Amino acid sequence: MTVQLDAPRAPVSGGPRQRHLPGEEGLWVFILGDLLMFGVFFGVLVVSRAKDVVVFAEAQAHLHVELGLLNTVFLLTGSWFVARGMQALKARSPRRTAWFVAALGTALAFATVKVLEYSLLISEGQTPADNDFFMYYFVFTGIHLAHLVIGAVFLTILVTIARRPQLTKGRFRLAECGAVYWHMVDMLWLVLFPLLYVVR
Amino acid sequence: MARKVQIVCASMGFAFVVVLFGGIIVAGMLPPFSPSAGAEEVAAWYQDNTNGIRFGMVLMMFGALMTAPWGALLAAHIKKVEGEFTPLTYTFLAATAAGCVAIFMPVMIFSAAAFRPERSAEITQTLNDMAWIPFIMNGPPAITQAIVLGAAILMDKRARPAFPRWAGYYNFWVGFGFLPACILLYFKSGPFAWNGVLSFWLAAVVFGTWFITMSILMLRALPEREERPETADDELILAAQ
């Protein structure tokens, strides 16, 4: 059983502790690229808002802030579950699978609330075609939801990795990639939520 | 010889970017024509730029096919990863062919629109829509190429893989970059319209840099130069003075 999972290539004698990048270097090309793309989304949103402050404020009042807040809580809890799960995975704790199953639960809860929120808005007569605010709201939260669905697939992989009695270097690396991706989904929402629901 | 063929195929990515975007600029399509323009305005644009558009389209027509050797070399690399049983290679090739068409087809319609610009304005506008919409909305071939290539790069377990692993993740990201354009049918203005920040500019930058990046990576993955057995062509005709 590998003990040195955290720093696979750590020097044997007392050199400085090697820095460990979770997952693998290449994954961060994707993570930073995706953050860059969402950065463009956020920029577009802020610029359009500045052009049409009144319409944006009026439309924003129709959003269900409490549902958005609930979803924020789900994602934050989910990230914590994943972090605990990764610790448990390294420590070979018997509860490691449970943490990831719980995280998967928060992902499903988020998706359920989001779909409920969409249908509420549409039944109240707010559609993407109404104004720029709702166009951005539906498109950006929709793209985020697509990321979350991919994240849920990753969490499922994490569950299967955790369930195996043996942990290999390759599987641990894959698990770290999944965890990093999940934290990214969480982080994007933490910018998207205030930008859409709260900023006035 | 194989090495030279690889150099040509890989370099087609550079040539493609120069010729495609060169054609777009010559045709006066940068920045793109707004989808919210009226029929008269569209017709006037074709009447005022007729020859520029025609020449630009000839360039873009050849540009479209430059993606074929570029994609073929990538497919050959994917085949090396897959071994004998090669579904990813075939998927990549099919998507590459679709990618050629995705550029070629709208270019043909732009050409038809610029052929008789004096016709009634509504018809020109229809042709203009028929060309711009597929030209920008045609993400799926490239998305398929990017995902298949990304997967193959990450699957490469050889001691000396052709491409660095970051390139696999980079390709996944490229696939995401082409997604916003898929909803342009709903918009005649704003960032998702066919001339918008996300549908056009983001996708164009990601698309162009993707071809260049993969060209560079393919050149770096060239096989070692090897000694070739002498043939009749190597026989000296003139000795050095």
Which tokens belong to A131?
């104004």
Structure confidence by residue, pLDDT tens digits, A38-57: 999 999 999 989 988 998 99
| Residue B126 to residue A117: CA distance in whole angstroms | 38
**pLDDT at position A4 over 50:** no
Interval B36-82: pLDDT, tens: 999 999 999 999 999 999 999 999 999 999 999 999 999 999 999 99
The reported pLDDT for the residue numbered A200 is: 77
Chain A residue with minimum CA distance to B191: A44
Residue environment code for A27-65, b if the CB has 16+ CB neighbours within 10 A, otherwise e: bbbbbebbeebbeebeebbeebbeeeeebbeebbeebee
Check whether the bond before B31 is cis (ω within 30° of 0): yes
A187 close contact with B: CB closer than 8 A: no
The angle that helices B50-82 and B2-26 make with each other, rounded to 10 degrees, is 150
Reading the block at residue A48, the tokens are 């359009």
Judged against a pLDDT cut of 60, whether residue A32 lies above it is answered with yes
pLDDT, averaged across chain A: 89
Cα separation, A12 vs A189, in Å, equals 41
Written as one string, the DSSP assignment of chain B is -HHHHHHHHHHHHHHHHHHHHHHHHHTT-SSPPPTT--HHHHHHHHHHSHHHHHHHHHHHHHHHHHHHHHHHHHHHHHHHHHTT--HHHHHHHHHHHHHHHHHHHHHHHHHHHHHSTTS-HHHHHHHHHHHHHHHHH-HHHHHHHHHHHHHHHHH--SSS-SS-HHHHHHHHHHHHHTSGGGGGGG-SSSTTSTTSIIIIIIHHHHHHHHHHHHHHHHHHTPPPP------GGGS-SS---
- pLDDT > 70? residue B174: yes
- The candidate with the shortest Cα–Cα distance to A118, out of A75, A72, A64, is A64
Q: Where along chain B do its domains lie?
A: 3-224
Please measure the distance between the N-terminal and C-terminal CA atoms of chain A and give it in whole angstroms: 54
- CA angle, B54 then B55 then B61, to 5°: 90
Over residues B209-228, the pLDDT tens digits come to 999 999 999 999 998 887 77
- What is the tens place of the pLDDT at every residue in A56-75? 999 999 999 999 999 999 99
What per-residue confidence (pLDDT) applies to A17?
A: 66
Contact across the interface for A40 and B198, Cβ inside 8 Å: yes
- Whether the Cβ atoms of residue A55 and residue A133 lie closer than 8 Å to each other: yes
Q: What distance in Å separates the CA atoms of residue A31 and residue A176, rounded to the nearest whole number?
A: 13
Contacts of B190 in chain A (CB under 8 A): 48, 132, 135
Residue A11 has pLDDT above 50, yes or no: no
User: Could you tell me the pTM of the whole model?
Assistant: 0.85
Interface test with A, best of B169, B182, B186, B206 (most A CBs within 10 A): B169
CA distances, A33 to each of A38, B58, B167 (Å): 9, 34, 12
- What CATH number was assigned to the domain covering residues A37-198? 1.20.120.80
CA distance B68 to A121: 46
Here the tokens at position B92 are 């990549």
Q: Which residues contact A79 (CB under 8 A, 6 or more apart)?
A: A103, A182, A183, A186
- The pLDDT score that the predictor gives to residue B226 is 75
Q: Is B223 left (phi over 0), alpha (psi -120 to 50) or beta?
A: beta
- Evaluate whether B211 touches B20 at the Cβ level (below 8 Å): no
Query: What are the structure tokens assigned to A85, written together?
Result: 């799960």
Distance of alpha carbon B89 from its chain centroid, rounded?
A: 18
Q: Do A129 and B167 touch (CB under 8 A)?
A: no
- Tell me if A44 and B167 make a contact (CB, 8 A cut-off): no
Question: What was the pLDDT predicted at A7?
Answer: 45
- Of A17, A14, A62, the C-alpha closest to A197 is A62
Residue to test with chain A: of B143, B163, B173, most A Cβ within 10 A: B173
Residues ≥6 apart with Cβ < 8 Å to B151: B88, B168
Size of the A and B interface in Cβ pairs below 8 Å: 50
Nearest C-alpha neighbor of A172 from the set A80, A96, A119, A62: A96
B107 pLDDT exceeds 70?
yes
Question: CB distance B192–A135 less than 8 Å?
Answer: yes
Taking an 8 Å Cβ-Cβ cutoff, which residues of chain B contact chain A?
164-170, 172-173, 176-177, 179-180, 183, 186-187, 190-192, 197-198, 202
Say if residue A1's pLDDT is above 80: no
B170:A40 CB<8 A: no
Q: Which of B70, B212, B72, B81 is nearest to B153 (CA)?
A: B81
